[in-house]
Amino acid sequence: MNKINRNKTRKNKKKMLYKKNKIEKKLRKTLRCNKHSDMNKIIGGEPPRRSTRGMQTITIPVLSIGTGNPAMGASYNNQYLEENDIEKFVKKRINNGYQLVTIPMPPHESHSILVNIGGTTQNLHVLIVDWGGEANRNNKTKKWKNYNQLISYLEKVYGRVEYFQPDPEIDDIASCYHDNNNGQGGCSTYVHKWVDKYIGNNGEIGILYQNF
């Protein structure tokens, strides 16, 4: 076999191996995501609606920063916030306890996080539940400008912002949902599943989401 043919053979083997690995990766992902086939549709930050009749319930306010409704899509997503918009939002709408907050991520997306204001009156602090965790704070692209401004202003007001440790199982569910729904709904899926598990005690306590 001459040198040209050997090189062709190597290239063909690499192509076949690449295709094989790609197929196996896709199959593993399909099998993994099939475990979560009961996931609710939560695109655009819409919380799941479940019956809570006869249960102890906790109400979580649903807030959006900016103009319009996140469910409207493009008209909400494609807006860059001014500093005074964020200041008004934090001072007038953020309260003690948990609240689900949706942020526009121009031009095409929005991002949902859970914000918890806790501690004593003299020593309040912020805890964030976020798909991607604290690493999202290191994203300095223009798309994440609104997010970073919000977190920075929370830090300015409350002095300390920390993130809950990522939950690998919930992260897996959110990733599957995101991948199977055209890159949408991963963040809100993560937040709602986290709330079900850690606040709702895996279904023992009912969760009511209320728009404010």
- Whether 3 has a pLDDT exceeding 70, the answer reads no
Higher pLDDT, 50 or 62: 62
pLDDT per residue over 131-184, tens digit each?
A: 999 999 999 999 999 999 999 999 999 988 999 999 999 999 999 999 988 889
What global pTM score does this model have? 0.79
Domain boundaries, given as residue ranges, for the chain: 1-34, 43-211
Do 167 and 154 touch, CB atoms closer than 8 A? no
